[in-house]
Every structure is written in C-alpha cells, then in structure tokens.
Amino acid sequence: MNISLTGRHLELTDAIKSRMNASIQTLNKYNMDITSVNVVASTQTKKGKEHSMVEFVISLAGKNSIVIKQSNDDLYAAIDIAIERAQKAMRRMHDREVDHQKIGLNVIKAETNLGIDLKQEELLGEDEIIPVELDLYKPREVEDALDDLKESGKMFEIFMDNEQKTRVLYKRNDGKFGLY
C-alpha cells in the first residue's frame, strides 16, 4: 500500500503524520486490497476564521476509489471523522462482497437441473391429449345415462339422445344433476 501525505498551506508535523498513518492502518482490517491512500490536509481562511480540511482518496484493486472530504475547525477532529466515514464505506463494500455470492448463471442452472434433460422434461410437461373411443353413437335415454353417472362416480356423462343430439349430463355442486 502506497501512502501519500500532503499538506496545502500547512506544514505536516510528525504528530499529524503519525495520526494519519495510524488512522490509515485501521483500514487494513477489512482485507480490501488497498493499493494506495492519498491524504491532502489543507487550511483555509473564511471570514477571518481558520478552517481545516482533509481529503482521503483510497484506491482499491478492481473496485472504485473511495473519496472522503471532511472539514472542521480542528485538523485532528477532521482526520478522525474522515477515517470513521472511510471505515464505514469500507465496511459496506466488504459486507456487500462477503454477503453476495458470486455464482454464475450456468452454475445455478446446473445445480437446479441435477442431471435432468430439459428437452425431455419439456415434452413430458406438456398437456398430452389421448383420444378415447366413445360409445355415444348408439342413442340412449337420459334416465339410463343418469343411472350410469350415479354408479360410476364420474363428474359428467356424454351421450347421444334419441333425437341424435349430443348431450352432457353433469353433477352440480349442490348434489343435483344438470343436462346440457
């Protein structure tokens, strides 16, 4: 990890440098492969008042850089707040990386199929219509069809009546029978 400490309009004392280095070392606990950290500390005078500002640019391998800008009246307080914000951002990135499993779509498909041939399953899953030979060519009385329906336990009976009309006798929900 490359560490660059820079002071603008301000001389970085050994105490400030050691505080920055110690703060940067706390970022290593997230194991995020930090390539470089650039810290720029500066002071500005606004409306006659001295104002300190710290900017952290944390470059991560294979990920976006984290940029934290923090200003405060006290330089040490600005460093501490900026490091807390950097730790929070690193923790979020670390949790996102650990919690989300990176499994490819083909691996998921292979695990869900478990050796099943999808083409064959697709053919088996389709509704198959099986033609059945019906005995409705000889005419029947409605009463005969009703007796057959009661005995068989079926829900409906299709037959030809004496007038050569195709009829359907069905069992209703209320227990009675309907004729169509």
Taking only the tens place, the pLDDT of each residue in 51-73 is 999 999 999 988 889 999 999 99
Total domains present in the chain: 2
pLDDT value of position 162? 81
Q: What angle do CA 94, 95, 97 make, to 5 degrees?
A: 65
141 falls in which pLDDT band (50, 70, 90)? confident
Sheet with strand 156-160: strands edge to edge: 156-160, 166-171, 177-179
Q: In the listed set 64, 99, 134, which residue is the last one of a domain according to the structure?
A: 99
> What's 166's domain CATH number?
3.30.505.50
Domain contains 87: yes
Given a cut of 90, is residue 111 above it in pLDDT?
no
16 falls in which pLDDT band (50, 70, 90)? very high
Given a cut of 80, is residue 133 above it in pLDDT?
no
